[in-house]
Amino acid sequence: MVSSNLEYVGRSPEARGITEGKFDTVRGKDILVITGRFGFKTYDVEDPAKPKLLDEFLPPELAANGYWQNEDMELDTKRKLIIGALDPRHTEIDQSQCPAGGGVALAGCKSGFYVISYANPAEMRQIGDFVELPSGHTSSCIQGCKYIWTGGPARSTPPARLPSGEIRPRVVNPEQAWLGPILGPLDPTPWNYTRDVGDGRPIWVTDLTNPYRPEVSDQPVDIWRNDGYTDYSHDVDEDDEGIAWVSGRGGIRGYATSGYHRDPYTNQYRRATPFEPVLVGGGGVAGTAQPVMLMHNSGRPTDGSVRAAGVKRGNVLVGTEEDFTQPCQNSGKIVLSDLTDSWGGEGAQQSRLDKPYRMKALDTFHPFIDSPETSTGPTGCSAHYFEIEGPLLGAGWYAQGTRLIDISDARDVRQVGYFRVASTTANESSNTWDIAFRSDRRKGDLVYVFDMNRGVEVLRLKKGGAYAAASMKKVTAPNLPSNAASPEPVSSLAVDGTGLVCPLFEY
């Protein structure tokens, strides 16, 4: 199923298992670097319709198909380096410490990131040693990749109510108990939440000026992020003005990492650094499907392409919520927030469970609610990673495929394109994690779809490309056939805690 403003160009099915991809130019050639269960692959994309595989690399200590997860892989395009996060739930050859699909509570499961050179895209190689950290779900570049902020995942196997009625106790990684208490759905009133509060790893900072001699922070940053509790810092997106926006459980918080700013925690002006950033804005997010929101990633457009009446330019913050609560409409949304009253950081700093601060929601989007259309089952309905090209947002929406959203008016966002495969052959159905926009100098804008089931797929935007989003008509995807495959994710959001975030779909 594809909207009329998109043309299907081609597919690279050998990239199945992909989580993310990014572009660069090396020695005058257009290169695509991807990551997934397989580790890393490089492609020559001089012919956008026919990506040509150049090389594959998997760190030798990891089992085949055992790389996890690096879902927001970073490229240092100046030094031609991949920053590849390793989540503690990877599959090592030694299965005794890190069993596949689990391990957040096991201190022996290493996490952190690899540094891999793609200066020769046909021969990738590791630079230096693995950088071992107490976190490892995502690693993000700060200040041109001179510094790396690494966060997530959870830090415990949550309690569960067994069929017998007994409650299996929570198991916390013993090395991270000092991060504070964890409140869960099985805790007594007044903590009646559907998801944990406090069960997550914050950000550890690495100075990567010399990739052969990384320097790691003694203490984490982005603490107290969830109404006063240290929690899951999921991902970091640095905007064009140098503010690092950290998404996670409890909202999206913005930090200055350079210059002098007033610290809302001390009411003193001080110099901000990547090791000691200053909270300058953001906070909890209103309009989400769930009250204890897990904000997955974010973006702050600053070029004027995204506006909202009565809101100053640059004050729109876009974020995705990741959630798999049933039914479908209770799963994660895209939310556009107004940053205006969050600047200074006091709202986020003072937020508490009994008196929470939430940014004002300008608009939200969810295909099941706003289109409306049928889904492939309530567990495939969450938003995931997105990319913004001017006024157009392209989102990976798991089993809902690729969604193109006109966000030029942040108070009235509209779906203007879609691509979704609902095959009766299970492993060919959409399981889309992210997309990337790419300009084809000859034929217009391309959309690269990164789909764990289907690999890399290439679409072409017709008639004006991404910057024509406001003139595109609103569209609704057709209803699914009754015999379409219905994926079931295995997610760490599940009560039994046996899954991975982000989820893998099983059929």
Task: Please indicate, yes or no, if residue 197 is contained in any of the structural domains.
Answer: yes
What pLDDT, on a 0 to 100 scale, did the predictor assign at position 454? 94
Task: Please indicate, yes or no, if residue 111 is contained in any of the structural domains.
Answer: yes
| Bridge partner list, 152 | none
**If DSSP codes are grouped into helix, strand and coil, which group holds residue 222?**
coil
d(CA 152, CA 236): 11
Cis before 153 (ω within 30): yes
From edge to edge, which strands make up the β-sheet containing 6-12?
6-12, 455-461, 444-451, 432-440
**pLDDT tens digits along 298-354:** 999 999 999 999 999 999 999 999 998 888 888 999 999 999 999 999 999 999 988
- Shortest CA distance to 473 belongs to which of 419, 414, 397, 423? 414
Tokens of 362: 């300008």
Q: How many domains does the chain have?
A: 1
d(CA 161, CA 55): 46
Q: Are strands 52-57 and 74-76 parallel, antiparallel or unpaired?
A: unpaired
Most confident of 247-251, 369-373, 460-464, 493-497: 247-251
Task: Please indicate, yes or no, if residue 75 is contained in any of the structural domains.
Answer: yes
**If DSSP codes are grouped into helix, strand and coil, which group holds residue 463?**
coil
The alpha carbon torsion through 179, 107, 235, 292 (nearest 10 deg) reads -50
- Exposure string over 368-403, b if 16+ CB within 10 A, otherwise e: bbbbebbbbbbbbbbbbbbbbbbbbbbbbbbbbbbb
d(CA 22, CA 24): 7
Range of the domain at 97: 58-216
Task: Please indicate, yes or no, if residue 417 is contained in any of the structural domains.
Answer: no
Task: Please indicate, yes or no, if residue 258 is contained in any of the structural domains.
Answer: no
**191 vs 73 pLDDT, higher one:** 73
Task: Please indicate, yes or no, if residue 479 is contained in any of the structural domains.
Answer: no
**pLDDT tens digits along 440-473:** 756 678 999 999 999 999 999 987 889 999 999 9
Q: Determine contact, residues 375/381, Cβ cutoff 8 Å.
A: yes
* E strand map for 294-410: 295-299, 316-321, 334-338, 358-365, 386-389, 392-396, 402-406
**pLDDT tens digits along 381-431:** 899 999 999 999 999 999 899 999 999 999 999 999 999 998 776 668 899
- Shortest CA distance to 251 belongs to which of 185, 335, 181, 362? 335
pLDDT confidence tier of residue 503, bands split at 50, 70 and 90: very low
What pLDDT, on a 0 to 100 scale, did the predictor assign at position 201? 97
Q: Determine contact, residues 53/43, Cβ cutoff 8 Å.
A: yes
The stretch 39-60 carries a mean pLDDT of 94
Residue 375 confidence (pLDDT) above 80: no
Gyration radius of the chain's alpha carbons = 21
Task: Please indicate, yes or no, if residue 279 is contained in any of the structural domains.
Answer: no
Task: Please indicate, yes or no, if residue 294 is contained in any of the structural domains.
Answer: no
Burial of 126 (0-12, 13-18, 19+ CB in 10 A): middle
